[in-house]
Amino acid sequence: MGQGVFVAGLGAITAIGNNVPECYCSLEQSKAGIGDIQFLDTVHKGEIPVGEVKMDNQELGVIAGISGEFSRTILLSLIAAKEALADSEIDTSGSLRVGLVSANTVGGIDKTEDFFKDFLKDPAKGRLRKVFDHECGCITEMVADQLGIRRFMTTISTACSSSANSIAYGARLIRNNLLDVVISGGADTLTRYTLNGFNSLMILDHGLCRPFDDDRQGLNLGEGSAFLVLVSESVAKNLIHKPYCELKGYYNSNDAFHQTASSPEGTGPFLAMKGSLAGSGFLPQEMDYINLHGTGTPNNDAAEGRAILKLFGPNYPPGSSTKAYTGHTLGACGAIEAVFSILALKYSIVFPNLRFKTPMNGIPFLPVKELRKNIPVNNVMTNSFGFGGNCTSLIFSRY
């Protein structure tokens, strides 16, 4: 499968922290970031809880080092990507072949919504410069420009598996000797478009989400960004600090069952997990933790539960959904949860599945209910499953 791929740097900003250390602190303290809407301009304020990053655009702009007038997706992306690159301590200005693989699903829709709010009142109003970064690829271009990356950049948008696929694609670029360093990850921001869309599907919980609970009512939307700095084996040997871990396996599948629902049998999730295990060379019993996709919707959790039953039963590894902390961050969730999974490796810890009380009917697999510390965590799997049946699993292993 080519040379090894290692993780040299991490960056994240979510509802539970403005950087990786803050996110870890919240995870360790079982502190969720889901609550009333503060920053999104919507009629659903006070009605639908979300996992918002706890800063407005002007405050984000200060951290990102650019104007707060840019799309919130750009601001979040740049904050996480800069943190990851600084964490890696890699000089990208030299001879290394460096690329960026960025993922998102909303692009700059937040700024487009602001434009139309004024435009619909008066066609002579509304500033067109607000919509120049509307499409998803513009986010990547802006981040690449700010980071000084010129050799390679591309955008992936495969719904909720987007940033997991960006990590897998970055690994493929390295393994095929096309690049030495790839900054892979993604971002998504809360918008009226996504909030209204998911609300129309009737899959939002108007309380706090309860992944894998038999009484679950739906998901809480969130926003955020995360990036990983992936490096080749030769680069890993010359890092200032040793890599966090190795990316041992990845696999993308598609069950093509439905536009917005998983197959009841969990075919897509099963194939993704099985394929990532095959690529890594591990057996199911060698997984020490699974960061579950676990959105909290009746369909998703049942499908993932059945896939786990089929692949891992009856000896299930510890598993939990960290979306109970951050909300479902859509195109960003794969990278955010990859960072959380790597933190589980680094600190030998398994995070609890918040608010879980009642086991799902017919599925014996139970998520972890309490924080587990100082336990062997050598191999972790993280799942990200998207609309259209696009399912991806990644496996990270202790270095």
23 a catalytic residue:
no
How far apart are alpha carbons 163 and 337 in whole angstroms?
10
245 a catalytic residue:
no
- Catalytic pick from 160, 209, 245, 391? 160
Radius of gyration of the chain (CA): 20
**What is the token pair recorded at 396?**
């990270």
Amino acid at 218: G
Handedness of CA 115, 121, 122, 123 (dihedral sign): positive
- Catalytic pick from 209, 245, 328, 391? 328
- Catalytic pick from 136, 209, 293, 391? 293
Range list of H helices, 33-188:
57-64, 72-88, 109-121, 136-147, 162-175
Amino acid at 298: P
**What is the token pair recorded at 74?**
């750009």
Q: Is 91 left (phi over 0), alpha (psi -120 to 50) or beta?
A: beta
Handedness of CA 262, 223, 337, 315 (dihedral sign): negative
Distance, first Cα to last Cα, the chain: 18
Residue 289 to residues 294, 351, 379, Cα–Cα distance (Å): 14, 9, 7
**What is the token pair recorded at 57?**
């655009």
328 a catalytic residue:
yes
Q: What is the dihedral of CA 202, 203, 209, 214, to 10 degrees?
A: 100
Secondary structure (3-state) at 379: strand
Give the pairing of strands 319-320 and 224-232.
Answer: unpaired
In terms of Cβ atoms closer than 10 Å to its own Cβ (0-12, 13-18, 19+), residue 283 is exposed
Amino acid at 279: G
The kind and range of the H/E element at 228 are strand 224-232
Residue 208: name the closest of 197, 222, 195 by CA.
222
How far apart are alpha carbons 115 and 96 in whole angstroms?
41
Cβ–Cβ under 8 Å, residues 390 and 156: no
Residue 91 to residues 97, 147, 148, 328, Cα–Cα distance (Å): 11, 11, 11, 33
Secondary structure (3-state) at 25: helix
Q: Which residues are catalytic?
A: 160, 293, 328
